[in-house]
């Protein structure tokens, strides 16, 4: 599914983010930028040691913020590493922090001249964020960003790893599109 807002396409696909050919892909990183499992591990594995070498130049990354590195051996030129919140119970600023992770990534993309970007579903794996709620935050943040930064990006793609994630993001996007 996809929608167009001005000159920007927001699309949803199921697939492997490590093979995306967008200018940048987003990594759901941990605050130490130390690599890990899930999307983080897959990106570091596919991208090779250059990504970790550049991650070591940072003193970690706070939850809700983002940093940028080379794409290493990936097709994407850049990896934007963002740290989503660990979901506790929804009353510890999790929604604000998740929105900030997406927004910080988008801001960093524009600042670096990136026109096309692919996101995973941040915080919904090991960090336990409820999928439907996280999808709503992700899609809403992307749409608001596009509305406030007309022409800054040509493509925001959510590359999702499961049928359940694709369904949740599709529902969220349909609600915003109607």
Query: Which regions of 61-160 does DSSP assign to beta strands (E)?
Result: 66-70, 78-82, 116-119, 155-160
Q: How far apart are CA 56 and CA 34, in angstroms?
A: 8
Per the CB < 8 A criterion, the answer to whether 27 and 82 are in contact is yes
Exactly one of 40, 59, 89, 163 is catalytic; which is it? 40
For 13, other C-beta atoms within 10 Å of its C-beta total 15
Active site residue 23: no
Q: How far apart are CA 93 and CA 87, in angstroms?
A: 9
**Catalytic residue numbers, as ranges:** 40
């Amino acid at each position: 599914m996809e929608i167009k807002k001005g000159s920007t396409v927001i699309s949803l696909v199921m697939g492997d983010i490590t093979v995306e050919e967008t200018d940048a892909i987003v990594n759901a990183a941990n605050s130490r930028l130390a690599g890990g499992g899930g999307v983080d591990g897959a990106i570091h594995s596919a991208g090779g040691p250059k990504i970790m070498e550049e991650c070591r130049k940072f003193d970690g990354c706070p939850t809700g913020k983002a940093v940028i590195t080379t794409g290493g051996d990936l097709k994407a030129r850049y990896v934007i590493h963002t740290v989503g919140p660990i979901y506790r119970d929804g009353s510890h600023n999790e929604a604000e922090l998740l929105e900030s992770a997406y927004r910080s990534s988008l801001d960093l993309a524009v600042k670096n001249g990136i026109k096309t970007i692919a996101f995973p579903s941040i915080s919904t794996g090991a960090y336990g964020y409820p999928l439907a709620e996280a999808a709503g935050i992700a899609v809403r943040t992307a749409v608001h960003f596009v509305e406030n930064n007309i022409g800054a990006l040509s493509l925001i793609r959510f590359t999702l790893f499961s049928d359940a994630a694709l369904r949740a993001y599709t529902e969220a996007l349909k609600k915003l599109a109607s």
